[in-house]
């Protein structure tokens, strides 16, 4: 189903995406210096309210470095009191969208209260929380990064209009992504939400739409495939592991031909031989070496060679996840791919790195009794992930 049709069915065919630039993060004392609201209708920009605002305090240099907005740019701009009623009228009783919407809403509610103005909206969507849950495998979740991922124009990042436009575009990507989830997942997410939470209206409406169109196809914007915990190459040969250790580490050896920017280190060769001999003697061995020696390659080559020659399984236990990930995602694949080794490699982490489905079910049952909204959002991400 196309996004325009989805927007109509979930009653998000009209929404307003907003962004504020401010003198700081404290809504009780900091001030708005730029305000933008973009009205989307059926996925297209139809109207906007964008203005620079003259604050009563100087704009901090840090804010200028981020936004590019300085005191001279706002010297002739209107004060917030002069335009705020018009701004609220633009938002009146519409669905409001923002990236980290609680930040923007806190400023709007403060000014509305100070100026004795009514502030009514039909619903709230936070693209930050939505991204964390439904694009959980992304590296970052700030709007600039997400705009790059989806190839939005981000040349004016951290200016209110550009960010408001990109936030609206991001919401439509997220709506497509959420709509593609299994109905059971959407149902669970909807049930976890409290009525007053951001995104609760969106989840409820998407669920109703999916129940109505059970046979329709909804395609994800981004696949959320998890990284595999197994590396398998059955077509290769392990004959290189029968060769001498020297043949691996010589200037023209296997590593020089297969490893990027390899250079021979005599101490690395010595360490590899000591590790290999230790395996053969089945004794205990402790070694210490400085950074940059190539310890990982030393114990990998020694361990793989001995395990193949003796039909053993090699287990490597690391102190940090970072080293474990380096071995599994970089070092071992280089050896397997460049030397075409016949190998199966499995990565395992401590039990605290895995989710217990029974404990997750227990958490679901008591979630609304003891947990904050932040924790509920974390649980929504777990639901999508699991």
> What are 365-374's pLDDT values in tens digits?
888 877 789 9
State how far the Cα of 121 lies from the Cα of 15, in Å rounded to an integer: 10
State how far the Cα of 265 lies from the Cα of 184, in Å rounded to an integer: 56
Mean pLDDT for 337-353 is 89
Per-residue pLDDT for 346 more than 90? yes
- pLDDT reported for residue 49: 98
**Strand intervals (E) in 219-319:** 230-233
* DSSP symbol at 17: E
Q: How would residue 253 be classed by pLDDT, with cut points 50, 70 and 90?
A: confident
Beta-sheet pairing, 123-126 with 95-98 = parallel
- pLDDT reported for residue 187: 95
- pLDDT reported for residue 186: 96
Beta bridge partners of 22: 32
Answer for the pair 297, 255: CB distance below 8 angstroms, yes or no. yes
State how far the Cα of 357 lies from the Cα of 320, in Å rounded to an integer: 26
Per-residue tokens: 133: 């849950």
Q: What is the pTM of this model?
A: 0.77
- pLDDT reported for residue 1: 86
Mean pLDDT for 228-240 is 89
Per-residue pLDDT for 350 more than 80? yes
* Other beta carbons less than 10 A from residue 118's beta carbon: 8
Q: How would residue 107 be classed by pLDDT, with cut points 50, 70 and 90?
A: very high
- pLDDT reported for residue 215: 78
Mean pLDDT for 175-201 is 94
Domains in the chain, CATH or no CATH each: 3-224 (3.30.420.10), 230-346 (no CATH)
- pLDDT reported for residue 369: 79
**Which residues make Cβ contacts (< 8 Å) with residue 275, sequence separation at least 6?**
285, 287, 298, 299, 302, 303
The H-assigned helical ranges of 262-294 are 266-281
Q: How would residue 286 be classed by pLDDT, with cut points 50, 70 and 90?
A: very high
Per-residue pLDDT for 229 more than 90? no
Mean pLDDT for 9-33 is 96
- Classified as helix, coil or strand, 5 is helix
Per-residue tokens: 160: 């209110």
Q: How would residue 282 be classed by pLDDT, with cut points 50, 70 and 90?
A: confident
- pLDDT reported for residue 226: 67
In terms of C-beta density within 10 A (0-12 exposed, 13-18 middle, 19 or more buried), how is residue 164 classed?
buried
């Amino acid at each position: 189903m196309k996004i325009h049709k989805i927007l109509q069915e979930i009653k998000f065919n009209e929404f307003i995406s907003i962004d504020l630039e401010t003198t700081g993060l404290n809504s009780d004392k900091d001030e708005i210096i730029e305000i933008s609201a973009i009205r989307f209708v059926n996925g297209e920009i139809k109207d906007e309210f964008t203005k620079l605002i003259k604050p009563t305090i100087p704009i901090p240099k840090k804010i200028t470095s981020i936004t590019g907005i300085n005191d001279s740019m706002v010297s002739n701009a209107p004060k917030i009191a002069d335009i705020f009623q018009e701004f609220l009228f633009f938002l009146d009783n519409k669905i409001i969208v923002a990236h980290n919407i609680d930040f923007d809403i806190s400023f709007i509610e403060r000014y509305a209260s100070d100026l004795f103005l009514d502030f009514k909206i039909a619903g709230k969507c936070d693209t930050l929380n939505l991204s964390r849950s439904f694009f959980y495998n992304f590296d970052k979740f700030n709007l600039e990064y997400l705009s790059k991922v989806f190839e939005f124009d981000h040349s004016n990042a951290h200016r209110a209009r550009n960010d408001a436009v990109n936030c609206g575009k991001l919401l439509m990507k997220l709506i497509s992504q959420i709509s593609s989830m299994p109905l059971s997942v959407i149902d669970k997410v909807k049930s976890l939400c409290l009525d007053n939470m951001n995104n609760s209206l969106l989840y409820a409406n998407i669920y109703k739409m999916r129940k109505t169109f059970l046979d329709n196809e909804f395609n994800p914007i981004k696949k959320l495939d998890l990284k595999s915990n197994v590396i398998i190459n059955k077509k290769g040969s392990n004959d290189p592991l029968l060769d001498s250790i020297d043949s691996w580490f010589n200037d023209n050896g296997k590593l020089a031909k297969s490893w990027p920017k390899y250079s021979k280190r005599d101490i690395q060769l010595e360490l590899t031989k000591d590790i290999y001999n230790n395996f053969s003697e089945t004794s205990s061995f402790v070694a210490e070496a400085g950074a940059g020696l190539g310890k990982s390659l030393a114990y990998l080559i020694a361990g793989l060679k001995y395990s193949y020659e003796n039909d053993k399984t090699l287990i490597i236990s690391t102190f940090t996840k970072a080293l474990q990930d380096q071995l599994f995602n970089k070092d071992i694949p280089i050896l397997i791919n460049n030397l075409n080794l016949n190998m199966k490699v499995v990565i395992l982490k401590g039990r605290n790195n895995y989710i217990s489905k029974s404990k997750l079910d227990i958490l679901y049952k008591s979630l609304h009794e003891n947990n904050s909204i932040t924790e509920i959002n974390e649980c929504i991400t777990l639901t999508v992930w699991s």
